[in-house]
Structure 1
Amino acid sequence: MHNQTTIAQKISYTGIGLHSGQNVTMTLNPATAETGIVFVRTDLPDRPGVKASASYVTNAQRATTLEGGAARVFTVEHLLAAFSALEVDNCLVELDAAEPPVGDGSSLTFVNLLQQAGRLELAAPRRVIAVDREYSIRVEDKFIALLPYDGLRISFTSVNPHPELGVQFGDYEINPDTFIREIAPARTIGFMHEIKSLQEQGLALGGSMDNALVYENGKPLNPLRFSDELVRHKILDVIGDLSLAGIVRGHVIAVKSGHALNTALAKKILEASRPSTLKL
């Protein structure tokens, strides 16, 4: 698809926020070219909005937070991954709370919504960032880099102290079919020993085995969808976070990266690159 897209019709979904534990209704609305993905807080006076851009990232602890003026939204990465991988460029996302619904903890809920809504091509070219040099972020033993590449490829190494998880490696060429089949079903991961601490910090208040893959003593308490579901979800997060730079083409190589490094890389690319209009 050479031109920008939006969804063909409005569609809504109601669920619970992963970290807030609040019920929320999300409505996806068609938008005009050059709008981008914009989150609109319908529960606040004057319905303030914030664009899905690395420029507006204010927190990346356990989830990605965007904030612009009175508009603040968090845990946006699973939804953004679906928009990015399914090549939906423009959408107004109305929320009546600060956090989108978590669905089942993966991107499947959002994939299904976008497929039901359909996709509409707009009369404006897509603007693609095709990198021509290396971009990288390193913090201690964690790093993420983006190298020139014809397409979008993600190679991720996850290292976890639990012996049942250990080292997991995933390497995927990202396109709509691969994303839907191999990445979108991978759920967010939780550990029983962390739950009390997270909830004391106001996190994971809506988490359950219905919307997360939960481990205890290194063993999954609910059935795995993939033997390497952890690293696949890490790749899902990269897709969502990296989309905050725009439509990026390159080879991502990451080791133990999380939202903080992912969004720092997106910001670095956004600040240094000038998008060019390319055919896809």
Structure 2
Amino acid sequence: MSISGGIDLQQTTLAAEAVYNGIGLHSGREVHLLMKPAPADTGLVFIRTDIEGRPQIHATAANVTSTMRATTVEEHDCKVFTIEHLMSAFHALHIDNCYIEIDAEEPPVADGSSLAFFQALKAAGVRQLPAERKEIVIDKVYRIDDEEHKRFVMVLPYDGFRVSFTSLNPHKLIGVQYENFEVTPEVYEREIAPARTIAYEKEIEALRSMGLGLGGTLESVIVYNDEGWLNPLHFEDELVRHKILDVIGDLRLAGPIRGHVIAVASGHALNTSLAKKILENLG
């Protein structure tokens, strides 16, 4: 594996500030998000403005501490969770450096997709910086398996960024879904970003008893039961598209990647394990 300037030769940041406010999916708390330009080699850094000293949490695979229903990063005894949708938008827009000021433990859920984040960042604009871009060029196969549940995620050499995902769900409404995208900003905005989080109705009460999903509504989560969908779908195969959205966000914790991601029934645990493996190889 090597680090290269890639197709986009220079690092990037936002051209202006971007703001998005809303409710956290799991916490149910109001959240204010301010995304600000940052210098070269900063990376993507969360700043907890609700805590004295404004501690920083670098969005990197080395800082992942939990993957239960969402991806959590932690540093200096402070954490942010459910970051995968926001990270996915950064990845798709090739934004390398940003200060992400946040006054709660998780970003707003918006409508359960990454579209609001993508559009806010896109409206702010992307500016090049006078430093070479550090793209991770995959030069061999990296794979993480969950043999017990017959799941895996892998990345192999490819001149671009492509994701192929197979989702396996025993429910009659969903079943096997497959999608394959060459991920460009245009394709991402149209085909991936609008795909929302999905939940089974019987799971919701159990999640809430664990303090999760407290901010979820039919405006922010697609819910299904044994009879059908409780809200209209954006895509017939919205589940697998959201899985692709998630893996793009989780793998951004390794850095901007050039390669072909192939996954079967992968989730945050496998995704972030692959990101860690990629980072360890760079070390």
Shorter-chain TM-score bucket reads over 0.9
Runs of 5+ unmatched residues, structure 2: 1-7
Separation of aligned partners in 1, 2:260 and 2:17: 34
Matched, 1:11 2:15: no
Q: Tell me what 2:226 maps to.
A: 217
Matched positions, count: 274
C-alpha contact 1:40 1:71 (8 A) present in aligned 2: no
Question: Unaligned stretches of 5+ in structure 1?
Answer: 275-280
Question: How many angstroms apart in 1 are the aligned matches of 2:219 and 2:279?
Answer: 36
Deviation at residue 71 of structure 1 after TM alignment: 2.3
1:100-249, aligned counterparts within 5 Å?
Answer: 100-139=107-146, 140=148, 141-217=150-226, 219-249=228-258
Does the alignment pair 1:94 with 2:91? no
**Residue 20 of structure 2 contacts residue 117 of structure 2 at CA under 8 Å; is this kept in 1?**
no
**RMSD, aligned α-carbons:** 0.9
The AA in structure 2 aligned to 1:27 is L
**C-alpha contact 1:19 1:205 (8 A) present in aligned 2:** yes
Q: TM-score, normalised by structure 2?
A: 0.95
Q: Which amino acid in 2 is paired with 1:144?
A: V
Post-superposition Cα deviations, 1:198-241, rounded to whole Å, max 9, x if no partner, equal: 01111101001111111111521111110000000000000000
TM-aligned CA deviation for residue 70 of structure 1: 2.9
Structure 2 residue aligned with 1:277:
none
Instruction: Write the distance in 2 (CA, Å) between the matches of 1:66 and 1:272.
Output: 20
Identity of aligned residues (%): 56
**Secondary structure of 1:272's partner?**
helix
Whole-angstrom distance in 2 between the partners of 1:105 and 1:218: 22
